[in-house]
Chains A and B, each alone.
Chain A
Amino acid sequence: MPRLQRATKNIILLATVLVLSAVIGASQKRAAATGRPFLPEQIIQAVISPFERGLYWICTPVRTVKRSLRTRRRLQTENKRLRADVLRLTEENAHLTELASESARLREAVGFSESRPERMRLARVIAAQASRRFDTCTLDLGGNDGVVRECAVITPRGLVGRVFETTPNTSQVLLLTDATSAVGAMLSRSRATGICEGQQSNTLILKYLQRDADAHVGDVVVSSGMGGVYPKGLVIGRVVRIISKPGDFLKSAEVAPSVKFDTLEEAFVILKGPT
């Protein structure tokens, strides 16, 4: 019996609450329609809002930490991606710079080859300074390409050396700086002649100049064409020092070569035979 009474009580309570809900719902709708504030709602909001504000205040640092952690993660990912991009672009940039430099060199070379009367072929330097004892380099053209011994090797900047050995596909070049290298040379301005020899260093020496020869620092040294290996008029370098000893009949000059042998990448081989 008490259980039944309790159940009845509960049903009555529920029914009351439902009726109250209906009344409150209707009142709220009416208040909304007339634009008046609904008092119960305002009271409850007044009670709840300080706690809402408190919770918001408590949660703000948590949210900030959470956001900064998320930002950190995002930045880390972004940083990783950007580093990879920088690496890729640096490589790409280096490649493009290389291509641009090669293109400029080849343009210069094409212009040079067209301006020269000799028959020549462009070759790439595939190996250089293989031995400390000899100043030599290897070109990617050989006997199959018409290259033979004693072919002159030049660049638009000036004389490089001569071919001293060939294989079907490559050729060895003795550079001007090698101690065994010698070229018939003359001063471009005064036409004073001598022989330009290598000395296994960065400079050459122009020997056998007459004691009274008109030679000054800065004079351009060109090939004289004597000896038959090198055509006449190819630039060898510039005089940097005059060497004259008292009592000697002859004098010498130290010459800085116009070609930079350590950065040589391409060169023309002047082929022998009819042009």
Chain B
Amino acid sequence: MRATLVIVCAMILLGAAQGALAHRMTIGQISPDFLIAATAAIGLLLGPTAGTLAGMLAGLAHGSITGVGLGSFMASRALVGCLAGSAKSHVFHDNPLVPLVGGIVGTLVAESVFVLLNPPARLGEWFAPLPLIAIYNGIIAVPTYWVLRRLLGEGFLTTKTRRHEGIRRYRETSNE
């Protein structure tokens, strides 16, 4: 329940931020995509089911803001959420590189799928800034990941991570 609430609120807020803030955070001609970053983060934190649904919501929000390509946005973002979720049990959640790589790969996948579904007139121009956009989104995914992690609590942690957390806490208390 808590996770659903967090996902819905995050997607609404980040959808609003995408419309109101993204164009003001442009560096060069590169603007961030908060929704992809959040989808990747949710997928990594909560697994494929939540990732897919979060991606679908992200696509709906982004498509509604843009006004076109709603289906393409939904499909591409849902796929990113599902892929990120599949990686959940294989990553160490305390590593800050996890959301960074998640954001970068998520952006590359989402934009590639989007292009497949909505081929642009000039493919080269579409792909040229993609690496930089991916890096920007990867950087944004790091704080997004940590904020979402705080909001979700520790219920999402895998058994492996929980065991690791337990060992760390035991070491800390025994040192004291």
**Partner-B contacts on A (CB < 8 A):** 9-10, 13-14, 17-18, 20-26, 28, 32, 38, 40-41, 44-45, 47-49, 51-56, 59, 63
Contact = CB atoms under 8 A, between A and B. Distances in A.
Contacts of A18: 75, 78-79
B49 A13 contact: yes
Given A13-B52, A20-B56, A59-B20, A26 B61 contact: no
Contacts of B15: 44, 48, 51
A44 B60 contact: yes
A21 B72 contact: yes
7 contacts: A13-B52, A22-B75, A23-B71, A32-B68, A47-B12, A51-B12, A55-B16
A41 B68 CA distance: 10
A10 B48 contact: yes
Interface string B41-58: 000000011001101100
Given A17-B56, A18-B78, A41 B16 contact: no
Given A48-B61, A52-B16, A14 B72 contact: no
Contacts, number: 98
B111 to A, nearest CB: 16
Contacts of B24: 59, 63
Contacts of B117: 25
Interface in B40-93: 48-49, 52-53, 55-56, 59-61, 63-65, 67-72, 74-75, 78-79, 82, 85-86
Contacts of A26: 71
B151 interface: no
Nearest to B57: A44
Would you list the 9 A-B pairs with minimal beta carbon distance, nearest first? A25-B71, A51-B16, A21-B74, A21-B75, A44-B64, A55-B20, A10-B48, A52-B16, A17-B78
B21 A55 contact: yes
Contacts of B65: 45, 48
Contacts of B86: 10
Contacts of A38: 70
Contacts of A49: 16
B48 A41 contact: no
